[in-house]
Structures are given as structure tokens and as C-alpha cells.
Structure 1
Amino acid sequence: MTTRAVVTGVGHYLPDRVVENAEFEATLETSDAWIRSRSGIERRHFAAEGQTTSDLATRAARAALQDAGLEPDDVDAIIVATSTADLTFPSAATMVQSELNMMHGFAFDVQAVCAGFIYALTTANSMIISGQAKRIIVIGAETFSRIMDWTDRATCVLFGDGAGALILEAQEGDGTGTDRGILATDLNSDGRYRDILYVDGGVSTQSTGFLRMQGKEVFRHAVEKLASTATTALSKAGLSADQIDWVVPHQANIRIIAGTAKKLGLSMDRVVVTVQDHGNTSAASIPLALSVGKARGQIKPGDLVVTEAIGGGLAWGAVVLRW
């Protein structure tokens, strides 16, 4: 028998404020048509004044717990993937722990920007396999609207706020590709490319900073690296692309999503796409898409799901799991 980290619940939360592309036309030289053609994005959600990343994360966690039929006391740990934590410290995860009235276990953040949820999921999987924890809430949550330069039309129209969460639970499998749960993971990074996607501020520079991105360069790396990491993860699991039921990619840009699917030899009707409604929510985008995909009736028990992401670092990776 083999211990697997199985998804038993999923949920998400989006702030109330919906920002349509047309809102940017009043302050920027842009248009709804331009934004759609470049990114596929039609709208996104922005957090309200005073609403923090941990607020969003807590709401997503509660939704995932409800979906799994669990209480906070049933969970051993919380891992939050975010680049926009409320404070420098303590972690957003400990704030979620407090809001859930979870008086035991442990909580910490993971920071790998848009690839953060893949890194957090891989970390949680390792902890469950090693016996460190039986159940873990894995959350991706961001308030990227707080780090936008509203004069930069190339970036500020792309990002949104939100949170998604799932619950991983230790269950026994046969050790084959038919098991439910995480079957394989693949992580990568290359710091040589840090200047193509970054925030120009931080604690040691005593400034908050804004997101800066060389869009063409990011695109150039994204499709190749995402397809490669997905293929590697599938190979580790002893599976192939033609066995995939759903690809749930990082929701950054419809052209990247379509290009990666094409490289994997998959049609877009096997890809969960939410970028049009949420924009790029960084570490939150994959769990958001998983939750929406389940709610839509797309992702069903037993489906083979491949999820992949790339973000600043550059950092990228993939997870293969059976729902």
C-alpha cells in the first residue's frame, strides 16, 4: 500500500467588487477589445478597502472545509501560497489559523509568486507522505491590486484578487496511476530570469514597490516551460498526455493557456479556463480554477488532472493528481 494525498474538499472566495475592462478606459490608453485580444481577460475582482489576503484566504478555507464536511479541528496544518501577505510577519497562514479558531497544528506561508500554489501543494504532499500531517488545508490567496502601477497599461489590467483552497488527506492507494490523490510533482526555478517579472520594492529596500513585467519575455518562456514540466510530471507518474481528463493551468493569459495545451497535444475542451472572469490571481488562480471546475461539473471523481504554473523567479512546476 502507498500513502496518497487525496483532495477531499475544495472552495474559493472572490471579493465583491467586479472590475470590467471598460473601467480602465477612463484612465488608460486601452480598451476592452485590446485587453481581451492580448489576454482573454474580460473582468477581475478587487478587494475592498481594508480587506486583506488573509481575509480572502480564510473565506476560501471555510468553503473547502464545508465541501469536505470537516471542521478546523479535523485539520493538522495550513499552508498559504501568497506574495501579498498582510504583514511582513507573522505569516498569513497563522492569521487564517487564528480566524478559524484552530488551536493546534502548524501554519506557514510559501512564496513562489504565480507558481506558489504548485510549490505549496508539493510541500503538503511531502508532509502527508512522510506522516508529518494527516490533513492539510492548502490555500492560494492574493491581493495583487495592492501592488499595481495604475499608469502601466501593460500590467495593471491583467491582475485580480481572490483565493482558493483545497484539503489534502492521507489515504491508502495501490501505488499505481489509478490511485486517487497526488501521483507526481515537478518543481523548477531559474534565478537568471528574475528581472523579467518582479516587484521593484521590498522590506530590505524599505519600499512596497510595483509589479514590473517584460510580457514578451515571460510569454517566450511560459509555453515551453509549462509544457515541459507537465510532461515531466506525467512521466514520473507513469502516465501520458492522452490520459489527461483536465488541464487546470495557471490562469495568466489565454494565449499561454492555449499554446501549452497545443504543445501537450490537447484540445481546449479539456482545459479549465477561468481567466476571462478572474484575471491573473497569481497563487490563487489554480485553486480558484479547481473549485470553479468542480462547481461547473467539469472535474469529477476519478478524473486525471494536470495543473501547472510559472511565475516570477522564474519558478515553475506541475502536479499530476487523480480527483
Structure 2
Amino acid sequence: MALKSSAVITGIGGYVPDNILTNSDLEKMVETNSDWIVSRTGIRERRILADRTLATSDMATFAVKNLLENAKVDPSEIDCVIVATSTPDYLLISTASIVCDKCGLSNAWASDVNAACSGFLYAFTLGSSLVESNRYKKVIVIGADQNSAIVNYADRNTCILFGDGAGAVLLEPSTEDIGVIDSVFKTDGHGREHLFVPGGGSMNPASEETIDGKLHYIRQDGRVVFKAAIKGMTESCTSILQRNNLAIDDINWLIPHQANYRIIHAVGDALGLPESRVKINIDRYGNTTAATIPLALWDYKEDFKENDNVILTAFGAGFSWGATYVKWGKLR
């Protein structure tokens, strides 16, 4: 009988555009100021995909190529690609299929997942389940979003928050007691009206009216989302701790979705986790939606040691939220 496999992160890649949109730049575009943005969100700058010949699939492709180079893996060895994104290149065609074509992943099947800012964690659990089944040996999970394509830069409430980027991880099987250990996820569709893009779907297909009404841009009730995010992320992390008999002192690192510094701080504080053990890069990238957690893994990969206990947690539109417990393995 085959030994039970766990899914371990063995490779990490990332990409952010070169173009930087600073708070000072935004001061010239809308009525805001840098000090207010920093005090309310913790964001100082964000990356924007300025080349309009490129799209989400290109950022994901750059991240995957970076991963393959770092992990020294041949593209033909990849079995499956899952892309978490809310900003696909096209309707109907999965962004994951385009990534496979651009990266030469000729033996992989591919699909997209949309759970907004929770998307990477949802896709990560799906990918780890495929590896745990012993049917797939190398699965790439990507979080990528080109938020600049759906942000109204005349709306000061949303344009200060979002940036573009992509991150990717390679999952492989292990029979050791490492890798993805547990996940807790929740969804509440009643929250949909508080964070969404009203136009472009089957409810409000693109038309002259949806364009004139600016329905193709992100709309957010910041106060509702703020409170729900703290509650959802804190409760899901607490559930992970309880289900796995972990004390907060057992946790080496918390990697939260980078939506707002005050949310991150509130979650860490509620859990009793010092900020020195919380990974934060929102000041440099802003909210990159599905890309925030894999970009944090990419940024700080040198800090993670074998057998470290790591909790990943996110909250996003839908509402969707949850947490995943990973016992860190070894990168290739």
C-alpha cells in the first residue's frame, strides 16, 4: 500500500512590475495625501503594469519562469497549473491555459480559481489535495492580479489600495510530517454587495450603460470589509490552532493577506502574536489580491526554516476567508 503523501512547497517564484505608483503620485490624481494613506493603510507605493500589451497571464508567466529557474525544474515535468485570479485575461478562456502556453508547460492541465483575495489559499488547498492523492507529482499554484485594470483612479477610496503582481509555488509530495497540514475555509455570499465589480458579468453584461455608470470598477464598503476581515481571519487562525493543538508560541510565522496594515496588526494582536513574527510587505506592493500571500512567501523565503510552523490567512470578496497551516519543508 502506498504511503500517504503530504504536499510540500519546494519552489517559489514571484514578479512585480517595474512601474511604481507612489502616494505622492496619487496626490496629483485625487484628493488625498501620503500621510493619510500611510496612517490608514500602511501603503507607501504599489506596482502597476503600465505596459497595456501585457495582462495578468504575463505577470503569472514571469512568476512561473522565476520559480522554474529557482527550483531547476523542466517545464515538461509540471502536471497541473492552478491560477487564482479575479482579473483574468479573458472571459471563457482560463488564464492558467495561457500561462501553460507561454511557459511551455506542455504536459500540464490547467484551470482558474476565483475567490478574490482568498483565491490563492483556495487554489493552494486544491493543488495540495491533488498532490496528496498521489496522482500528481508537480503542481504549480499561482496568485496573480492586475488590479489596475479594474480600479477607478478617480475614486480615492479604492485607488490608494490596489497594486499588480504575481506569485507562484511548486507543490510536490513527501512522506515526511511536513507540508500542508490543515485548512479552514468559510464563505458568506451575503457579503457580496460590500466588495465587488458590478459590471461585466452575466448580471450586468458590458453595455453603454454599464460603462457610463462606471460599473466595471471595484466598489467597496471599507468599514464593513475592515471589520469582517479582522473577525474572519482571527477566527480561522484560532480554529487552526485549536484543531492542531498549537499554542501561539508554537507559530513561527503568520503570513496574512496584505489588504491593510491595520487589519494585519489587529489580527496579530487578537492572536497574541508579536509583529516580529508577522510577514508584511503591503508598504511596497499594496493589495495585490490573490498575489499577496505568494509574494510574501517569495519576498521572505530565506527566513523560513525546515519544520517552521507557518499559518497563511486571507479574507476577500464573496465574502471568502480562511487559514492554512503549513509545516515548512525544504526548497529545491
- What are the within-5 Å matches in structure 2 for residues 112-261 of structure 1? 112-173=115-176, 179-204=177-202, 205-207=204-206, 209-261=216-268
**Which residue of structure 2 aligns with residue 274 of structure 1?**
281
- Cα distance in 2 for partners of 1:238, 1:91 equals 39
Question: Partner letter of residue 255 of structure 2?
Answer: V
Question: Following superposition, which runs of at least 4 residues in structure 1 exceed 4 angstroms of deviation?
Answer: none
- Cα distance in 1 for partners of 2:165, 2:108 equals 25
**Which residue of structure 1 aligns with residue 270 of structure 2?**
263
User: Residue 323 of structure 2: which of 301, 318, 321 is its match?
Assistant: 318
Show structure 1 runs of 5+ residues with no match. Answer: 174-178
Report if aligned partners of 1:53, 1:143 keep a CA contact under 8 Å in 2: yes
Show structure 2 runs of 5+ residues with no match. Answer: 207-214
**Which residue of structure 2 aligns with residue 176 of structure 1?**
none
Q: Secondary structure in 2 aligned to 1:284?
A: helix
- Cα distance in 1 for partners of 2:29, 2:287 equals 20
Q: Secondary structure in 1 aligned to 2:68?
A: helix
- Cα distance in 2 for partners of 1:270, 1:159 equals 24
Report if aligned partners of 2:256, 2:312 keep a CA contact under 8 Å in 1: yes
Structure 1 residues 108-159: Cα deviation after superposition (integer angstroms, max 9, x where no partner): 0000000000100011111111223111000000000000111210111100
Question: Partner letter of residue 2 of structure 1?
Answer: K
Instruction: After superposing the two structures, state which structure 1 stretch, 227-236 or 264-273, moved more.
Output: 227-236
User: Residue 85 of structure 1: which of 80, 85, 88 is its match?
Assistant: 88
- Cα distance in 2 for partners of 1:304, 1:90 equals 37
**Which residue of structure 2 aligns with residue 28 of structure 1?**
30
Report deviation, 1:71: 1.4
User: Residue 303 of structure 2: which of 290, 298, 310 is its match?
Assistant: 298
**Which residue of structure 1 aligns with residue 60 of structure 2?**
57
Structure 1 residues 42-71: Cα deviation after superposition (integer angstroms, max 9, x where no partner): 000000222100000011011112222211
Question: Partner letter of residue 307 of structure 1?
Answer: L
- Cα distance in 2 for partners of 1:235, 1:167 equals 28
Report deviation, 1:283: 0.2
Report deviation, 1:239: 2.5
Report if aligned partners of 2:183, 2:322 keep a CA contact under 8 Å in 1: yes
Aligned residue pairs: how many? Answer: 316
Question: Partner letter of residue 200 of structure 1?
Answer: P
- Cα distance in 2 for partners of 1:57, 1:222 equals 26
- Cα distance in 1 for partners of 2:241, 2:325 equals 6
- Cα distance in 2 for partners of 1:300, 1:251 equals 22
TM-score (norm: length of structure 2): 0.93
Structure 1 residues 241-262: Cα deviation after superposition (integer angstroms, max 9, x where no partner): 2211000110010000000001
**Which residue of structure 2 aligns with residue 12 of structure 1?**
14
Report deviation, 1:2: 3.1
Report if aligned partners of 2:77, 2:107 keep a CA contact under 8 Å in 1: no
Q: Secondary structure in 2 aligned to 1:220?
A: helix
Report deviation, 1:200: 1.4
Q: Secondary structure in 1 aligned to 2:11?
A: strand
- Cα distance in 1 for partners of 2:35, 2:304 equals 31
- Cα distance in 1 for partners of 2:61, 2:246 equals 35
- Cα distance in 2 for partners of 1:262, 1:107 equals 39
Report deviation, 1:238: 3.6
TM-score (norm: length of structure 1): 0.95
Question: Partner letter of residue 261 of structure 2?
Answer: I
**Which residue of structure 2 aligns with residue 284 of structure 1?**
291
Question: Partner letter of residue 306 of structure 2?
Answer: P
Label 1:76 to 1:238 Cα distance change in 2 as closer, same or farther (>3 A). farther
Report deviation, 1:302: 2.2
Question: Partner letter of residue 198 of structure 1?
Answer: F
Instruction: After superposing the two structures, state which structure 1 stretch, 204-213 or 135-144, moved more.
Output: 204-213
Report deviation, 1:77: 0.4
Structure 1 residues 59-111: Cα deviation after superposition (integer angstroms, max 9, x where no partner): 10111122222111121100000000100021010001011112213100000
